[in-house]
């Protein structure tokens, strides 16, 4: 039965690696399609959704720097990678009848809109899914921080972090079988215990602005809608 969603407006952060599927690199159109279907279901519930997608499936600044590139240049390449992922997701969403706009923090006029906060807000009010590409537009940042920043700018009620597992655990549940999943954590718990939720600048920004972070599995089909309905398995950082 349809249920009133737990949140009115959310930002979903999907890491680039989540889009690879079984491959070691790049974009699986099958996986992107599945995640797009989950997003479409949440849009159909009446939730206003915006997205930040990472780029780690294509390029990471730190890897480029480790291979001898200047870090800032490598980071720009990483930001360009997020634009490719954004276009793949836009395509998959539109195929499912969801209206979208891509806005890039680095203007790319022939491909997408530039990031304009008030314009993005307007798109969301009209029910369009806004995909924020190119991270924050600045090197030395991550798409986690971009996600926290855009979520705060858009006045989102929560930042949804779609991960490999269904929440935050005391240890990696894929390696430690009796690792326990937390239901609720404070921002300071995450920072002090260095729990792998999002990087510290993202957590700090969320904390300063009272933005709850909901960690759930992006790989469990239908999990996004379950979490939006207040059910399912997840960890809340607040």
Binding site membership for ATP: which residues?
Answer: 13-16, 56, 60, 163-164, 169, 172
List binding-site positions for UMP: 55, 75, 136-143
- Closest CB to ligand UDP among residues 60, 128: 60
Closest residue to ligand UDP, based on beta-carbon distance: 54
Contacts of residue 59, defined as CB under 8 A and 6 or more positions apart, other chains included, come to 74, 77, 78, 80, 81
- Residue 11 in tokens: 């930002």
- Nearest partner of 181 among 215, 148, 204, 211, judged by Cα: 215
d(CA 208, CA 221): 32
The reply to whether 79 sits near ligand UDP by the rule CB under 6 A is yes
Interacting span for ligand UDP (CB under 6 A) from 4-12, 43-51, 74-82, 91-99: 74-82
Q: Which of 5, 56, 162, 212 binds ligand UDP (CB under 6 A)?
A: 56
Task: Confirm if 50 and 121 have CB atoms less than 8 A apart.
Answer: no
CB of 134 to ligand UDP, least distance (A): 7
The residues, any chain, with a CB within 8 Å of residue 119's CB and separated by 6 or more, are: 103, 113
Q: Which is nearer to ligand UDP, 20 or 93 (CB)?
A: 20
Closest approach of Cβ 203 to ligand UDP, in Å? 14
Q: What is the side-by-side strand order in the sheet with 100-104?
A: 113-114, 100-104, 129-133, 48-53, 9-14, 158-163, 213-217, 235-237, 184-185
CB of 205 to ligand UDP, least distance (A): 12
Part of the chain binding ligand UDP (CB under 6 A), chosen from 9-17, 120-128, 161-169, 213-221: 9-17
Provide the binding-site residues for ligand UDP, judged by CB under 6 A. Answer: 15-17, 54-56, 60-62, 75, 78-79, 81-82, 135-136, 138-139, 141-144, 146
């Amino acid at each position: 039965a349809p249920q009133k969603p737990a949140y009115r407006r959310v930002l979903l952060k999907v890491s680039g690696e989540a889009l690879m599927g079984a491959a070691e690199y790049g974009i699986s159109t099958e996986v992107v399609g599945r995640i797009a279907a989950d997003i479409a279901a949440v849009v159909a519930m009446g939730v206003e959704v915006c997205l930040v997608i990472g780029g780690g499936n294509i390029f990471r600044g730190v890897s480029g720097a480790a291979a001898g590139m200047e870090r800032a240049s490598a980071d720009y390449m990483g930001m360009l990678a997020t634009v490719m992922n954004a276009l793949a997701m836009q395509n998959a969403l539109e195929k499912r009848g969801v209206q979208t706009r891509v806005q890039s923090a680095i203007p790319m006029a022939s491909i997408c809109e530039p990031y304009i906060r008030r314009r993005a807000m307007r798109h969301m009010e009209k029910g369009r899914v806004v995909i924020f590409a190119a991270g924050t537009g600045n090197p030395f940042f991550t798409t986690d921080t971009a996600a926290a920043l855009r979520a705060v700018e858009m006045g989102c009620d929560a930042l949804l972090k779609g991960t490999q597992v269904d929440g935050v655990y005391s240890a990696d549940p894929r390696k430690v079988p009796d690792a326990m999943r937390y239901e609720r954590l404070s921002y300071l718990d995450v920072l002090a215990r260095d729990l792998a939720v999002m990087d510290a600048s993202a957590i700090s920004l969320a904390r300063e602005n009272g933005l709850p972070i909901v960690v759930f599995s992006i790989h469990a089909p239908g999990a996004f809608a379950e979490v939006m309905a207040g059910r399912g398995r997840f960890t809340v950082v607040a």
